[in-house]
Structure 1
C-alpha cells in the first residue's frame, strides 16, 4: 500500500487545488524563459534571414539594428567588385507608424533590391515582390490581409505576400518593400528640417539615395578576415562579420532585458521553493497524529520520509505538467514572441525536482520530531 497515494486520495480536492495554484507560478517561470528566448529569436531573425557573411555600415557604427546608419547607395557598387565578394545588396531599415483602421500601425520596414542579398523572404501565402513600386510583403502580426491596400506617407501599397515570425529586435512586425520605395518612405518620415537639407542634392524622385547597410556574401575561396579587413580600411566604412553582428544584438541591444527576465525567473523559483516548503510543512502538520501512529506501531523513519518526499515530488511534477500545458496553449496570445525549447523545459523540470526535494526538508524535519506517544492523546 502506498501511503502517499492514500493520503492524496483522502484530500484529493485540496491536492488538486494546490497543484493548480503551483502550476500558475511555474507557468510564469516557463513564460519568462520563453520570452527571453523569443527576444533572442526576434533580435537574430532578420540578421540570419539576410544570409550575410559580412555587414558594411557607416564608420563608427555598430550595425543597422543597434543604431542608425546612413551610406550612399553607390557604396554597394564599389563593394560588389571587391576581391572575394560574390554578391552585395543595399538595404534600408526603419521603424515607422502610419494610420490604419482608425489607429496607428507600427512596423519595421525592410527595403532591399530585388534579386540581391537581403531581398529573400519565406513566403507563406501569396508571392514575393516583383514590381519595383507599391508592392509589399507583410508579417502576419501586422494584421494585414493578402491583397489589402495601405497608405504609407503619400503612397499606396498593395500586400502581395504574407510571411511569419519576421520581426525586429523591438518586436515590431516586418513590412518588406523594394529599396526605392523604402528610401522614399524614409525620406518622407524624416523631420522636415532634415528633408529640406537632403532635398537640395536629392534626385528627381524626392528622396536622397541613402541606405542603412550593405549585405555582403563572399566567394567560397575568399578569406573572411581578409575581405573585412580590406573594406574596414576605407575610412568612411565599418565592416563586421555576421557573428559579430549577432553578438552586438544579444550582448548589447537585449542585454538588460535578458538580465531582468533572468532575475525575475530566479526570484520566482525561490518563491516556488518557499511555497512548496510551506505547503509540505502544512500537510505534514495536518497528518501529525497519523505519523505518530505510524511510529507507535513500529513504522521505520524511511516510510515517513518516503511519504513526505513522494507527496512533494507529486505536487511539483503535477504542477509543472499543468503549468507547461497552460503556457504552451497561451504562448500565441502574447504580444511578443514566446519560444519554448525542449532543452529549457527539461532543465526547468530538473530544477523543479531539486526544489521539491529541498522544500520537503521542512516537512521531513518536523515529521521526525513528532513524539509517538502523541498518538495516544486526545
Structure 2
C-alpha cells in the first residue's frame, strides 16, 4: 500500500491546487533559464549569420560588436589577397529608427555587399538583395512583410526577403541593406548642417569606411595564421570566429548573463523554501495519523518515504505544469526564450534535488511526533 498515493487521493483537490500554484513558480524558473539561453544565442546569431572564419577590425579594438571599429573600405581587397582566404566582404553595423505606416521601429541595420560575404544564409521567404540601392531583408520580429516599404533616413526601402531570429545582443531585430546604402545612412547629415560645415571649411569624413572585413578561408587554411598576418598591419586587428564568439559571450553580454544567473539562483532558493513550507504544513496536519503509524509499529523509513514521495510529487507535477505553461506563452515574450530538452531535464533534476532537501523540515517534524498523541481525543 502506497501511503503517499492514498493521502493525495484523500486531499486531491488541495494537492492539485497546490501543484498549479507551484507550477507558476516553476514556469518562472524555466523562463529565466530560457531567457538566459536566448540572450546567449541572440548575441551570437549576427556573428554567425555570414558563416565566416576571420574578422578584421580596427587595431586595438574589440569591434565591431563590443566597441566601435572603423577601417578603410579598401581593406577588403588587401584581406582577399592574403594566403588562405577564399572570399572576403565588408560589413557595417548600426542602430537606427525606421518608419513604417507612421510608427517608428528600432532596428539593427547591417550593411553588406550583395555579391560578397556578409548577408544572411537562411532566408525563410523572398529573395536575396540584388540591387545596390533601396532593397532590404528584414527579421520577422520587425513585423514587416514582403513588399513593405520602410523609411530609413531620407530613403524608402522595399522588403524583398525575410529571416527569423536575427537580433542583436540588445534584442533589436536586424535588417540587411546594401553596403552603399548603409554607408550613406551612417554618414548622412542634414543639408543645413552640410552648408555649415562647408562654410567653416571642415572636411567631411570619407564615406568609404566599414566596421569590419570578414573572410572565409579555404578548407586547409589555418585561421590563426591568417589573423597573425592581419595583425602585422599596424592599423588592423584580426580575430577568428571562435575568438569573436568568445568575446561576445564574455564581454558584451557577460553582465546580463550574471544577472540572469543570479535571478535563477534566487528563484530556486524561493522554490525550495515554498516546497519546504508546503510539505511542513501538510505534515503538521497529519501528525496524528503519523503518530498512529508509529504506534502500530511502522518503521521510520516508511514515514520518511511518505513525506519524500509527496514532496517529489509536488515538485515533478509542478515542473510538468510549469513546462506546459511556458510552452504556451514563450512566443509572447519580448526576448527569445530558448529551452532545449537537455536544459529542461537538468532543471527537472535540480528541482527533484531541491524537493528532497526541502522535505527535510517535514521529515524532522514527523520523526519527532509522539506515538502517544494517537490515543488522544
TM-score range, shorter chain: over 0.9
Is 1:235 the equivalent of 2:253?
no
Partner residue, 2:339: 340
**Partners of 1:81 and 1:170 in 2: CA distance:** 35
Q: What residue in structure 2 maps to residue 147 of structure 1?
A: 147
2:185 paired residue number: 185
Query: Match for residue 307 of structure 2?
Result: 308
Task: Tell whether the 8 Å contact from 1:63 to 1:245 is kept in structure 2 after alignment.
Answer: no
The alpha carbon displacement at 1:362 in A equals 0.8
CA distance in structure 2 between the aligned counterparts of 1:189 and 1:121, rounded to whole angstroms: 32
What is the aligned residue count? 373
- Give the drift of 1:189: 6.4
Counterpart position of 2:371? 372
SS in structure 1 of the partner of residue 262 of structure 2: helix
Instruction: Provide, for residues 261-307 of structure 1, a one-character-per-residue CA deviation record: whole Å limited to 9, x for no partner.
Output: 11111111111111111110100010011111112222222221121
| Worse-matched range after superposition: 115-124 or 258-267 | 115-124
Q: Alpha-carbon deviation of 1:136?
A: 0.4
Paired position in structure 2 for 1:10: 10
- Matching residue of 2:165: 165
Partner of 2:119: 119
How far residue 190 of structure 1 moved from its aligned partner, in angstroms, is 9.4
SS of the equivalent of 2:307 reads helix
Q: CA deviation at 1:200?
A: 3.7
Change (3 A) 1:190 1:106: farther
Aligned to 1:137: 137
Correspondence list, 1:248-263, <5 A: 248-263=247-262
Cα deviations by residue, 1:336-360 (Å, 9 ceiling, x for unpaired): 1111011111111111111111111
Contact 1:55–1:63 under 8 Å retained in 2: no
Q: Report the Cα distance in structure 1 between the residues aligned to 2:332 and 2:189, rounded to whole angstroms.
A: 31
- 2:43 corresponds in structure 1 to 43
Deviation at residue 199 of structure 1 after TM alignment: 8.6
SS of the residue 2:338 aligns to: coil
SS state at 1:50 partner: coil
SS in 1 for 2:290: helix
The corresponding residue for 1:222 is 221
Please tell me the root mean square deviation across aligned C-alpha atoms, in Å: 1.9
> CA 1:351–1:190 in structure 2 vs 1: closer, same or farther (change >3 Å)?
farther
The whole-number CA distance in structure 2 between the counterparts of 1:17 and 1:150 is 50
Q: Please, which moves more after superposition, 290-299 or 310-319? A: 290-299
Match in the other structure for 1:97? 97
Whole-Å Cα distance in 1 between the matches of residues 160 and 263 of structure 2? Answer: 42
**Higher mean displacement: 309-318 or 216-225:** 216-225
Quick check: 1:168–1:174 contact (8 Å CA) kept in 2? yes
Corresponding position of 2:211: 212
Q: Which moved more, 1:299-308 or 1:140-149?
A: 299-308
Q: Distance in 1 between the 2:208 and 2:159 partners?
A: 25
The answer for the alignment partner of 2:283 in structure 1 is 284
Give the secondary structure class of the aligned counterpart of 2:354: helix
**Residue ranges of structure 2 left out of the alignment (5+ in a row):** none
Question: Which whole-Å CA distance do the structure 1 matches of 2:75 and 2:31 have between them?
Answer: 44
Determine helix, strand or coil for the equivalent of 1:290: helix
Q: Distance in 2 between matches of 1:364 and 1:285?
A: 10
